[in-house]
């Protein structure tokens, strides 16, 4: 037992065209957000966290979760709190 046997991580990710809206044009923000998300998911893949889920209202982002073997939760609302609640319910079921 490592102490992380029951730890779950929830990674909320907004729609790419809405993420980091104060920074730059949409294509640059999309690229930045994808790089940041891949970095977070890669770090979690190398960690002792046993369960990870990417939560987003953008269905095609499921491929990011698939790249590292994590679960993907499609949220029906755009809000962060709704995504985190969906992730919390998922984590409790694990």
Nearest CA to 56 out of 84, 20, 94 is that of 84
User: Does 63 map to a domain?
Assistant: yes
pTM of the model: 0.86
Domain region containing 31: 8-93
Distance of alpha carbon 60 from alpha carbon 79, whole angstroms = 18
User: Does 64 map to a domain?
Assistant: yes
- Can you give the pLDDT at residue 41? 97
Contact 90, 15 (CB under 8 A): no
User: Does 62 map to a domain?
Assistant: yes
pLDDT 10s digits, 13-25: 998 887 766 777 7
Distance of alpha carbon 72 from alpha carbon 53, whole angstroms = 5
- Can you give the pLDDT at residue 94? 85
Nearest CA to 14 out of 75, 87, 85 is that of 75
User: Does 59 map to a domain?
Assistant: yes
Neighbours of 63 (CB within 10 A): 10
CATH number at residue 35: 3.90.550.10
């Amino acid at each position: 037992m490592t102490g992380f046997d029951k730890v779950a991580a929830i990674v909320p990710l907004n729609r790419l065209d809405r993420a980091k809206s104060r920074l730059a044009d949409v294509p640059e923000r999309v690229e930045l957000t994808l790089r940041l998300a891949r970095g977070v998911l890669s770090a979690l893949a190398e960690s002792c966290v046993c369960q990870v889920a990417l939560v987003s209202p953008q269905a095609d982002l499921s491929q990011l979760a698939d790249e590292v073997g994590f679960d993907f939760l499609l949220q029906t609302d755009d809000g962060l709190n709704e995504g985190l609640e969906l992730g919390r319910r998922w984590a409790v079921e694990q």
